């Protein structure tokens, strides 16, 4: 069986590596002319780190990212609402990594080139159209700079891993509603700072209207006594129409730095961090309505193409990796691509639709809004505002739903059996 993968992002590259591990031929087609380390930070939860480790990437992940030890929620005065251990510190057999998205991508691309060969990661190939004749899929590619048709590929099946603006999704389900806007704008960046808290905490500060997320994401910086701090400033804005959803759109800090002028805490000086940063990127918090169906015949969708979701609970990269493993198992065990995609979809779509909708209701971060509403001026003792049991209920139920409950991750059998 030969699989055509559209998109050389996290989902597409993880799928290529997984299929190769299962002994299934795969070829990746990516629009951009050269892969560069684009993006800023991303979190890969322990369930996906287990899968990447089973793909033989544990050492590269450890050398590139930073094993997160804690997740902390804070109010806008910098007071701690909740702190919980993460990854190995929480008893998982695998770490959670905070990692530079672009460096993670490069790491995956190196592995694809080494294992599948240079010829199976084709850059500068933008999918224009495809046709499923019931036996095979034929895909046509253009050079997006010129519009010229440059290649035609025939395979047994096609996987659309082409992200939030997926061409494959649009061809399968034309006339989709525009992106659904959550009303929040994100300004994303990374900057070297002094380490904060224990040097391994992901801090989420504020409430539904104004938030700031900061976490260290580089083991290399940690070795040098510094923190490569990924930060995201988030503001609720009026209107239903988001600005262009472009991961590479740069903005000036003058648009928002004043909103954080009072956010100077003993453990983190937010305005100073923003001031010290050079490149800042804007992206709206957007998702899409869950689809009633992902697959048609020998064509299906994974990752952001299938289920773009709000970044609540840091799930997008993690779930793209999990899709890559589930689709591989289905292709390994089912008799043909059509039944494999039907099985993959039955296993994954209901769950991803539920997470997508649940993320619109703030997911585990709902606790921060509860605290803001009950104690906007701050608190002496957080348990007077929200009980431990209420906090555990909010955060624990999300982990179960999103598939990174500790017992599930540690004890389930492997998803993919390597090809003998
Ligand atoms: C440039 C970039 C920067 C990002 N930065 C961040 C970040 O800082 N933090 C964060 O949390 N998330 C970021 N993301 C999103 C994050 O990577 C995804 O949400 C998540 O990893 C799911 O991955 P995916 O593979 O489904 O989609 P993506 O990672 O979006 O990958 C999709 C890929 O498909 C390619 N593609 C699109 N259309 C076609 C086509 N017609 N033919 C061929 N190829 C096509 C795109 O160029 C892209 O490489 C970024 C995505 C991109 C593309």
For atom 49 of ligand 1, which residue has the closest CA?
Answer: 9
Domains of the chain: 180-287 (3.30.9.30)
For atom 47 of ligand 1, which residue has the closest CA?
Answer: 31
Q: Which of 415, 268, 200 lies closest to 329 in space, CA to CA?
A: 415
| Per-residue pLDDT tens over the stretch 10-25 | 999 999 999 999 999 9
Q: Count H helices, E strands: the chain?
A: 13, 21
Q: How far is 401 from 322, CA to CA, in rounded Å? A: 14
Give me the percent of the chain exceeding a pLDDT of 70. 99
- pLDDT at 45 (0 to 100): 93
**Lowest mean pLDDT segment, chosen from 5-14, 72-81, 206-215, 386-395:** 386-395
pLDDT for residue 398 is more than 80: no
Q: Where are the beta strands (DSSP E) in 194-331?
A: 201-206, 210-216, 227-236, 250-251, 264-265, 268-269, 280-287, 299-301
Q: What pLDDT band is residue 365 in, cutting at 50, 70 and 90?
A: confident
| Nearest atom, ligand 1, residue 10 CA | 25
Q: How close is the Cα of 236 to the center of ligand 1, in Å?
A: 24
Strand partners, 210: 235
| Nearest atom, ligand 1, residue 32 CA | 47
Give me the percent of the chain exceeding a pLDDT of 90. 82
- pLDDT at 114 (0 to 100): 98
- pLDDT at 4 (0 to 100): 98
Q: What pLDDT band is residue 179 in, cutting at 50, 70 and 90?
A: very high
Helix (H) or strand (E) holding 61: helix 58-64
| Nearest atom, ligand 1, residue 29 CA | 43
For atom 10 of ligand 1, which residue has the closest CA?
Answer: 42
| Nearest atom, ligand 1, residue 11 CA | 25
Q: What pLDDT band is residue 58 in, cutting at 50, 70 and 90?
A: very high
- pLDDT at 316 (0 to 100): 92
For residues 29 and 122, is the Cβ–Cβ distance under 8 A? yes
For atom 30 of ligand 1, which residue has the closest CA?
Answer: 163
| Nearest atom, ligand 1, residue 141 CA | 42
Q: How close is the Cα of 163 to the center of ligand 1, in Å?
A: 5
User: How large is the average pLDDT for residues 323-331?
Assistant: 98
Q: How high is the mean pLDDT of the chain? A: 94
Q: How close is the Cα of 335 to the center of ligand 1, in Å?
A: 31
pLDDT for residue 396 is more than 90: no
pLDDT for residue 257 is more than 70: yes
- pLDDT at 294 (0 to 100): 98
| Nearest atom, ligand 1, residue 302 CA | 26
Q: How far is 198 from 119, CA to CA, in rounded Å? A: 44
pLDDT for residue 385 is more than 70: yes
User: How large is the average pLDDT for residues 60-73?
Assistant: 95
pLDDT for residue 35 is more than 90: no
pLDDT for residue 342 is more than 80: yes
**Lowest mean pLDDT segment, chosen from 150-154, 270-274, 309-313:** 309-313
Pocket of ligand 1 (CB under 6 A): 6-12, 29-32, 38-40, 42, 101, 126-127, 161-163, 167, 188, 247-248, 303-305, 311, 316-317, 320
Q: What pLDDT band is residue 420 in, cutting at 50, 70 and 90?
A: confident
**Which of 101, 179, 309 for mutating ligand 1's site (highest number of atoms within 8 Å of CB)?**
101
Q: What pLDDT band is residue 237 in, cutting at 50, 70 and 90?
A: confident
Q: How close is the Cα of 400 to the center of ligand 1, in Å?
A: 26
Phi then psi for 154, rounded to 5 degrees?
-115, 130
Q: What is the pTM of this model?
A: 0.94
- pLDDT at 362 (0 to 100): 67
User: How large is the average pLDDT for residues 144-150?
Assistant: 96
| Nearest atom, ligand 1, residue 319 CA | 22
User: How large is the average pLDDT for residues 43-49?
Assistant: 95
Q: Is 363 left (phi over 0), alpha (psi -120 to 50) or beta?
A: left
Sorted by sequence, the CB contacts under 8 Å of residue 200 that are 6+ apart come out as: 66, 67, 68, 69, 70, 216, 222
- pLDDT at 403 (0 to 100): 67
Q: How close is the Cα of 101 to the center of ligand 1, in Å?
A: 10
Neighbours of 330 (CB within 10 A): 22
pLDDT for residue 46 is more than 70: yes
Phi then psi for 343, rounded to 5 degrees?
-70, -45
Q: How close is the Cα of 384 to the center of ligand 1, in Å?
A: 43
Which 8-state DSSP code applies to residue 105? H
Best mean pLDDT range from 159-168, 240-249, 252-261:
159-168
Q: How far is 92 from 83, CA to CA, in rounded Å? A: 17
**Which of 6, 18, 100, 162 for mutating ligand 1's site (highest number of atoms within 8 Å of CB)?**
162
């Amino acid at each position: 069986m030969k699989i055509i993968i559209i998109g050389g992002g996290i989902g597409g590259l993880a799928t290529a590596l997984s299929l190769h591990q299962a002994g299934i031929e795969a070829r990746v087609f990516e629009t951009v002319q050269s892969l560069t380390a684009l993006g800023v930070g991303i979190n890969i939860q322990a369930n996906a780190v287990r899968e990447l480790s089973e793909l033989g990437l544990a050492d590269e992940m450890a050398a590139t990212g930073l094993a997160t030890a804690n997740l902390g929620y804070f109010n806008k005065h910098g007071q701690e609402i909740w702190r919980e251990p993460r990854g190995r510190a929480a008893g998982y057999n695998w770490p959670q990594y905070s990692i530079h998205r672009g460096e993670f991508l490069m790491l995956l691309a190196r592995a694809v080139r080494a294992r599948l060969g240079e010829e199976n990661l084709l850059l500068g190939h933008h999918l224009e159209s495809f046709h499923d004749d019931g036996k095979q899929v034929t895909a046509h590619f253009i050079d997006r700079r010129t519009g010229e048709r440059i290649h035609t590929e025939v395979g047994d099946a096609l996987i659309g891993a082409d992200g939030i603006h997926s061409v494959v999704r649009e061809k399968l389900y034309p006339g989709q509603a525009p992106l659904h806007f959550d009303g929040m704008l994100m300004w994303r960046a990374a900057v070297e700072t002094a380490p904060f808290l224990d040097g391994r905490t992901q801090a989420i500060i504020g409430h539904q209207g104004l938030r700031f997320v900061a976490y260290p994401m580089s083991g290399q910086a940690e070795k040098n006594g510094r923190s490569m701090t990924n930060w995201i400033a988030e503001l609720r804005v009026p209107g239903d129409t988001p600005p262009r959803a472009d991961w590479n759109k740069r903005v000036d800090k003058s648009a928002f730095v004043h909103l954080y002028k009072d956010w100077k805490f003993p453990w983190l000086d937010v305005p100073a961090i923003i001031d010290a940063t050079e490149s800042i990127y804007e992206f709206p918090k957007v998702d899409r309505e869950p689809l009633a169906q992902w697959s048609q015949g020998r064509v299906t969708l994974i990752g952001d193409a299938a289920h773009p979701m709000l970044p609540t609970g840091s799930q997008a990269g993690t779930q793209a990796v999990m899709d890559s493993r589930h689709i591989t198992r289905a292709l390994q065990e089912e008799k043909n691509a059509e039944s494999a995609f039907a099985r993959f979809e039955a296993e994954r779509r209901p769950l991803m639709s539920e997470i997508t909708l649940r993320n619109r209701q703030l997911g585990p971060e709902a606790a921060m809004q509860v605290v803001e509403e009950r104690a906007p001026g701050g608190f002496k003792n957080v348990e007077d505002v929200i009980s431990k049991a209420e906090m555990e209920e909010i955060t624990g139920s999300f982990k179960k739903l999103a598939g990174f409950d500790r017992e599930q991750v540690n004890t389930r059998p492997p998803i993919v059996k390597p090809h003998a």
